[in-house]
Homo-oligomer: A and B are copies of this chain.
Amino acid sequence: MYGAEYHQKIVVAAAQIIADEGLSHLSLRTVARKVGVSTTVIYSLIGNREDLIEAVSREARGSFVREQRAVGCTENVLVDLKNLGRAYRRWSLENPALYSVMFGGYFGPQEIDREPIAPLADAVHRIHAQGRLKIEDPWQAVWAFWSAVHGATTLEIAGGCVMVGGQSEESFEVILEGMVRGLVSA
């Protein structure tokens, strides 16, 4: 019995491979070799390849959520909202492959839990509580901000940003500022 610590070893080995070489280079045999066990252990401890990727996704989600929660709350909610967006972008650009596994939709329609965007949702609801939201449903605003930030980061990861010839950070600020101006009143 290899115990639960090998579960962790396997998941971090798989996460390293995904982060370093991409999802397509993830093979159960190389993961098993890296950890020093046989592929049978992966099957009995975690499951098949899809389950392993799911486990890596859960682990990555934990890191992502931790960094979103690390964004503090100031007296200005709009500043918090933008800081959440900036942290979102920063984590995605630092872990592009893991981000793709989380939100890339590789597996078709999946059950995405709302924990990763909970801080974002909180900020938007705080704005809504102040009566400054230009639309009635705060969740639609959450969806809008999430879409903008997600789209910008995924396109930047894919290399689409250089195409329109702008500095990345400035362009991201424009997107944040644009959505804020469009959805919340001063």
Contact = CB atoms under 8 A, between A and B. Distances in A.
Interface of A: 22, 96, 100, 103-105, 108-114, 134-135, 137, 139-144, 146-152, 154-155, 157-161, 163-166, 170-171, 174-175, 177-183
A47 to B, nearest CB: 17
A139 B164 contact: yes
Contacts of A151: 146-152, 154
Contacts of A140: 164, 166, 170-171, 174
B174 A148 contact: no
Given A137-B166, A150-B154, A150-B155, A161 B175 contact: no
Contacts of A177: 182
B139 A165 contact: yes
Given A143-B155, A143-B161, A143-B171, 7 more contacts: A112-B163, A134-B181, A143-B166, A144-B171, A150-B151, A178-B179, A178-B182
A165 to B, nearest CB: 6
A114 B163 contact: yes
A57 to B, nearest CB: 12
B159 A155 contact: no
Contacts of A103: 155, 158, 160
A175 to B, nearest CB: 5
